[in-house]
A and B are shown apart, each in its own frame.
Chain A
Amino acid sequence: MSKYKEKIMGGIFLLAACTSIIAVILICFFLFANGIPAIKEIGIFKFLTGTDWRPSNDIYGILPMILGSIYVTAGAIIIGVPIGIFTAAFMAYFCPKKIYRILKPAVNLLAGIPSVIYGFFGLVILVPLTGNSMLTASLILAVMILPSVIGVSETAIKAVPKSYYEGALALGATHERSVFFTVIPAAKSGIFAGVVLGIGRAIGETMAVMMVAGNSTAIPGSLFDGVRTLTTNIAIEMGYAQDLHREALIATGVVLFVFILIINISCSLIKRRNEN
């Protein structure tokens, strides 16, 4: 009797563990099955490199959104990553315990604040200064990726053996030099994983970007131009899109999904290399 019970429960556990496999298969299937036909109909080349997005004329080119996503993400990385790495270094090597007790929860809370709040904050504080622009979106995203970059970098820096730091000190380097020229280089692949995680966050963010970026469909010419990303393109038009337009939006999702898969795979490759 109890043997049966053991076997049945073991099966149930296995079944539960397979949910995530099923979920990924379902997500892939439904996205690709609904998006690929549109890409075929529009023409993959036209779809990916077309610079015009005019649903009313059945012209669907998502190059502006691809570039928009890349620009905005690059901006967020340029601003956010240095701040994140320096903060992580502070938390690991400079910070007295008292301050750590404030800083750590602060970073966690930064990660917990909903994206609509970031978007709203950007709307009322930044937009009057920098307009509905790429710059504003990058600034907001920079703040939003901080917790990911800080968290992963801090762990990576702390994982470097103390002897590296002590060795540098013993050779006469200052505290700062020891940290930045021996410890951090040794932690670089971990820090890089944090950066990749941040890229994933930034490229996937929808609400905050939508609220501050202006969402124009032209390719942005300067930092102060409005921009539309892949995510916001879906969120803005999905509500009323019909037929090919709707499918083109789903196809936009497919492109975004492929981007994210590439980022995820490189992230886990880095992780695996670290473990070896």
Chain B
Amino acid sequence: MKAIGALILALGREFVRDRTALFFTLAFPFIFMIIFGLLMQGLDRPRNFDIGLVVEDASPAASGLANALRNVPVLKITEDGFDTEQDRLEEGDRDAVIVVPEGFGDTVTAGATATVRVFFDPSRQTTATIVLPILSQILDGIDRVRAGTPRGLVIEPVSVVASDLRVVDFVAPGVIAMSVMQLGVFSSINLVMRREKLILKRLGATPIRRETVIAGEVLFRLIITAVQAVLLVAMANLAFGVPIQGGFHELIAIVGLGALAFIGLGFAISSFAKTEEGMLPIAQLVSLPMMFLSGIFFPIDGLPGFLQPVVKVLPLTFLGDGIRQTMVGGFSINAMWVNYMALALWLAATFLVAVRLFKWE
């Protein structure tokens, strides 16, 4: 125990005294969040949305809904038929196409649940975050008019992305996940550097056990990750108003588990390079694609289908999804327990590899 404490202290001093590395390690995610938080705010302001409306039902209920939609100020409604509107959606000229299907009125009259279909492009996130909530409000309004009956109208988004989230609500948890991932994966660089400089060999020439060295390195990384995560969460919450709905316990659990899994990944890949220079490209090769394929900055539904199986098993997908669900709810990809299980599996696998392949020199 004494040895682990002393090791953590030594690693901490090394880390804090290298100002350049310190800055680049810790500052990057903040810059990222500030950029997204401030610059993307423009995207959250109301603007007009081009909506194609297709009313296939002649009932009073259907025309009532259509009228309600036509009266929403920010929606620019065109009604040129399903095929034309659908083409325009695919060309990017429409933000969404709303279809009130045939039989809508009858279903409503019968008191059953009626469905309005909404076609939209999930990669255009503002549509998802704004049009659907507006539609939802209108339906609620109509429901309220039909007071006394249970909610009879629901929207069926064709792509499942719906919530009244702002861009920053989506991106801030992604930035936190990214920083946890990077601090973990790039721990490999420090480890390789210490091996290359024969510092690990020197430590190995004392009675200290390999497990103690690994534990010291892992705990030290965990502390750094915790510090950065706390600062990022505080910034997201206080400066940009991103909520923490799931509470701190859940947030600590998911971030802690994710941090350990990624530190394990960093240690596992550190066996594949002999020099610091050789490690850097490997670490980047591991971390960079993950940043784009894990849905931390945009929904994964927008990614091509052949990538989906890959995307669905990446550790960053589980971590990003877990943090986002914990903080803001919404946009969920997996059930929370799936995220925990998957990260735990990654953790077990990477540490197994790391301990197996660990070399003093």
Decide if A and B are genuine partners. no
Taking beta carbons and an 8 Å cutoff, which residues of A are in contact with B? none
